[in-house]
Amino acid sequence: MNDILVSFDNVTIDYVMKKQSLRAVRDFSLDIEKGKITAFVGESGSGKTTVVSALLQAISSPGKLTQGNVYFFDGDNKIDVSALKNEQLRKFRWSKVSMVFQASQSTLNPLMTIYDQFYETAYYHDAIASKEKFDERLNYLFDLVKLDAKRVFKAYPHQMSGGMKQRVMIAFALLLNPDLIILDEPTTALDVITQKYIFNQLTDINKNLGKTLILLTHDIGIVAKVADNIAVMYAGSVMEYADAYTLFKEKKHPYTRGLIEATPSILKSPEEIQPIEGNPPDIRNLPSGCPFHPRCKYCMDICTEQRPPLQKIGDEHYISCHLYANNTQKL
């Protein structure tokens, strides 16, 4: 267990409302390896943000963890995250796990300087031993994300570019030195050069500081080079999980294959870029059987009737697809 930092154990999350209950995540089990970069990839509504929110008890209302557990391994201590209360939870957040939410740059307070916002956060987490030590830490973090501390400390959010603000958010996530950082769509709305720059910094943080990262993205292409492991999600379930090399080389699941074929590349002609037909499913009315079946060109009778289990088809390679029943590989 020493190489596992987080274990999602049969997690189900429902949005419980007066008239109906919507299942956003279903029977989700996955171990996150310590010191690795794991990407959760899927279209909007695939459940990737919802499931990692359970790791911080931050599922947006009226969502609830209705089954399963999320465990965090802190040395020999196995923490059941859903059992954390008040002060325990406050300490766990940021100091063990921090999250940079999607478009979180816009959560920067427009009326405070960047320095004051860091100071306030550290103050409320009792993380300031002295102003000198705090300044030293902040200079170190800004150096790490390659921002000019002298200039940015005094700046207000509107005085910075989108790429600078995103690097400020990464420095924020590192402020209390957590073991795990979750980044939700970390490069959305940034140009490709800034995207590359941010991913280089995230890779450095992973390799040089040993931080475990979880990246959430709809774009499988942008995590191809940085992720160690990839979980492809659809309709709240894992469709395929493998190390990045295996996933891209074998692309067994029809949905994984569709995501890769839809990704633009300078090596592809426009005709080779094939979008996945149809739309992501509506969780108010999920298809029977395999949730991907209305969009799948390999759909068989069984696919409309029975949901395929997640099964192991290779060394740490898992897939949920009837094409691989009894581990016979078809694609």
Count CA within 13 A, CB hemisphere, residue 59: 25
Omega prior to 308 cis, within 30 of 0: no
Instruction: Between 73 and 292, name the residue whose CB sits nearer to ligand SF4.
Output: 292
Instruction: Between 162 and 294, name the residue whose CB sits nearer to ligand SF4.
Output: 294
Quick one: three-class SS letters along 88-136?
A: HHHHHHHHCEEEECCCHHHHCCCCCCHHHHHHHHHHHCCCCCCHHHHHH
Instruction: Between 222 and 303, name the residue whose CB sits nearer to ligand SF4.
Output: 303
Extended strands (E) in the chain: 4-16, 21-33, 37-41, 63-74, 77-80, 97-100, 180-184, 212-217, 229-234, 237-243, 311-314, 317-319
Calpha distance 271→251 (Å, rounded):
20
Instruction: Between 271 and 301, name the residue whose CB sits nearer to ligand SF4.
Output: 301
DSSP 8-state code for residue 81: G
CA geometry: angle at 52 spanning 51 and 53, to 5°? 90
Instruction: Between 137 and 307, name the residue whose CB sits nearer to ligand SF4.
Output: 307
Residues that bind ligand SF4 (CB under 6 A): 254, 290, 292-293, 296, 298-300, 303, 308, 321-323
